[in-house]
């Protein structure tokens, strides 16, 4: 399938070790019971953390006149995402893997850089993609505990604390930007969500993995009960 170029920005730079794909079905999607599933996950997650770092860095460069407190929160996110990428690479290599072992996708970065508003990027990257990420991490902690995999538990625990903070500051600032900019901000947010939804469907098609909604963690990240209920309905539709 050819992606609609209007929905996507350019790929971020990657060196020759990386084989970059465009759609989910082009990836090496190993089933949960496969012996190499954890290695492929670590490699994929390493690149996704790089995408998160690159998105946050672009938010700093693309919106230099935003309020200082918001820019500082985004800068802290950059540091967190860099630390996550290092942690995933460290565990990947400790278990015999290497960078470039599997293909990667950069759809998150490509979707975000095609969204022209900061409120839109915060709504999609932090309040949607990263919020889904905290559901996945919470589920991963549970499965790692059942397996007794202490390295994964430690990795997920550290990552979860940071990701909750990223979602929380986006929840705070989306509301503040709407209060400040009114209808213009609401329209920009709505356009961004529609844009991302269309782009995401092109990348993943029907191959969406869903996780149980982590109610308590989402509350900690600043979601309301109504928003958590909406997330549950959306997850039920997709499963």
pLDDT (tens digit, 9 = 90+) per residue, 175-207? Answer: 999 999 999 999 999 999 999 999 999 999 876
SS (H, E, C) the chain: CCCCHHHCCCCCCCCCCCCEECCHHHCCCCCCCCCCHHHHHHHHHHHHHHHHHHHHHHHHHHCCCCCHHHHHHHHHHHHHHHHHHHHHHHHHHHCCCCCCCCCEECHHHHHHCCCCCHHHHHHHHHHHHHHHHHHHHHHHHHHHHHHCCHHHHHHHHHHHHHHHHHHHHHHHHHHHHHHHHCHHHHHHHHHHHHHHHHHHHHHHCCCCCCCCCCHHHHHHCCCCHHHHHHHHHHHHHHC
Q: With bands split at pLDDT 50, 70 and 90, how would you rate the model's confidence at 1?
A: low
In the predicted structure, residue 238 carries a pLDDT above the cut 90: no
CATH, range 8-238: 1.20.1260.10
**Domain boundary assignment for the chain:** 8-238
pLDDT (tens digit, 9 = 90+) per residue, 27-46? Answer: 999 998 899 999 999 999 99
């Amino acid at each position: 399938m050819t992606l609609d170029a209007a929905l996507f920005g350019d790929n971020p730079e990657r060196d020759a070790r990386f084989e970059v794909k465009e759609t989910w079905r082009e990836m090496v999607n190993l089933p949960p019971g496969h012996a190499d599933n954890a290695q492929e996950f670590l490699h994929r997650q390493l690149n996704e953390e790089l995408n998160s770092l690159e998105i946050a860095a672009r938010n700093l460069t693309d919106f230099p006149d935003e309020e200082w407190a918001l820019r500082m929160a985004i800068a802290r996110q950059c540091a967190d995402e860099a630390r996550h990428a290092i942690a995933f690479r460290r565990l990947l290599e400790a278990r015999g893997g290497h960078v470039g072992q599997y293909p990667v996708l950069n759809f998150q970065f490509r979707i975000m850089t095609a969204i022209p508003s900061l409120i839109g990027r915060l709504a999609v990257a932090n309040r949607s993609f990263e919020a889904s990420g905290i559901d996945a991490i919470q589920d991963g902690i549970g499965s790692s505990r059942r397996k007794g995999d202490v390295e994964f538990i430690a990795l997920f625990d550290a990552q979860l604390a940071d990701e909750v903070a990223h979602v929380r500051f986006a929840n705070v600032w989306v509301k503040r930007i709407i209060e400040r900019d009114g209808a213009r901000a609401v329209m920009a947010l709505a356009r961004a969500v529609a844009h991302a939804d269309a782009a995401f469907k092109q990348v993943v098609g029907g191959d969406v993995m869903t996780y149980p909604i982590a109610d308590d963690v989402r509350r900690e990240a600043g979601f309301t009960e109504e928003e958590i209920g909406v997330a549950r309905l959306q997850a039920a539709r997709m499963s």
